[in-house]
Amino acid sequence: MKCHEKEIGGAIGSGTRRCRKEDSGNASGGEKCGLFRATAGGYTVVELLVTVGIIVILGGLLLGGVHIAARRSKDVECRSNLRQHGVALLDFVATHSVYPLAGNADKQHPEHTVNWRKSILNSKDLDGKLTSCPTAIEPVGRQEAFISYGYNDRGVIGSGTDAPLGLGGKGVMGSSSRWPPVGEHEVVRPSEMVGILDAATAWRGLIDDGRSSYSGRYFYAPGSEAGRDRMMSRHQGRVNVVFVDGHVSAPRIKMVFVEADPSGLAIWNRDGEPHGERLD
């Protein structure tokens, strides 16, 4: 059987010819072979599929890079917010020689306003951007203005009767005010004490984001495993913190909220001691 190629009219692609086999002895006029041949200016189907696959992969990598860049940008913005909180906190301490009270409902100390945030920021945060982490999602049902950052009010405590060891005042829970305030020199190691950080309501291992009765402003150092979904989603397993001396860092969430080792607990207390016995 003798076959030869014949060019079929009609463009399939630039420079591409469709060929068919013809049998000189076949009365039907020839048998189509369905073969495609690429010349210098065209692509085969396999080549096109490979090209499309490469484009899809590169597009995915590009989108992933854009997502990472956006996430890092938000993280930088969050740290910038906390750095400004740190500057405001240091300004307050330099002016009054004490740390702002967590609350001052009875106004016994006129240099303090109704809460720590207003005491240090006052008119510096008129649009609310300084107190909002760009990665935070406002919880459903929250009744108060959403606050993304919290104050190390009490340090490590095991019950409501423990004397607070944080920055928010020396008064125990249940009083109308947290006075008297903590003096500047009562903080033993400012560079190693938590000042203000990503907000969560934490109590003995509980980190809660949904209670409308909490404003997210106060922190308690737990000593057991906690539900940390909110924190984990914000900064990839880390928590942004401005320490009392004004420097910003991002320790692991487990170190700040969960681990009951001395280094993880001591950073909450103004005397620099872990006070792990409070969590027994």
pLDDT tens digits, 78-129: 999 999 999 999 999 999 999 999 888 777 788 898 888 889 987 676 566 7
How crowded is residue 50: how many other Cβ atoms within 10 Å of its Cβ?
A: 12
What's the whole-number mean pLDDT along residues 155-184?
80
Residue 235 or 125, more confident: 235
pLDDT above 50: residue 17: no
pLDDT, residue 83, reads 95
DSSP state of 278: G
Single out the residue of 152, 151, 171 nearest to residue 163, CA to CA. 171
Identify the band that residue 229 occupies on the pLDDT scale cut at 50, 70 and 90.
low
Single out the residue of 276, 151, 172 nearest to residue 220, CA to CA. 151
DSSP-assigned letters across all residues of 95-160: HHSBPPPSBBTT-SSTTS-SBHHHHHHGGGGTTS-TT--TT--PPTT--SPP--EEE--S-S-SST
What's the whole-number mean pLDDT along residues 118-142?
73
Single out the residue of 187, 159, 183 nearest to residue 173, CA to CA. 159
203-220 pLDDT, tens digit per residue, is 433 334 434 333 333 344
28-65 pLDDT, tens digit per residue, is 444 444 444 555 556 788 888 888 888 888 887 777 66
pLDDT above 60: residue 16: no
Residue 273 or 261, more confident: 273
Q: Which of 26-35, 68-77, 163-172, 180-189 has the lowest mean pLDDT?
A: 26-35
Single out the residue of 192, 155, 171 nearest to residue 279, CA to CA. 155
Torsion region of 147: left, alpha or beta (phi above 0 gives left; psi -120 to 50 gives alpha):
beta
pLDDT, residue 215, reads 37
Residue linked to tokens 């909180």: 85
**Residue 225 backbone phi and psi in degrees, to 5:** -60, 145
Single out the residue of 151, 158, 177, 154 nearest to residue 166, CA to CA. 154
pLDDT, residue 230, reads 57
249: enclosing H helix or E strand: strand 248-249
Report the mean per-residue pLDDT for the chain: 73
* pLDDT above 70 as % of the chain: 62
| Predicted TM-score (pTM) of this structure | 0.69
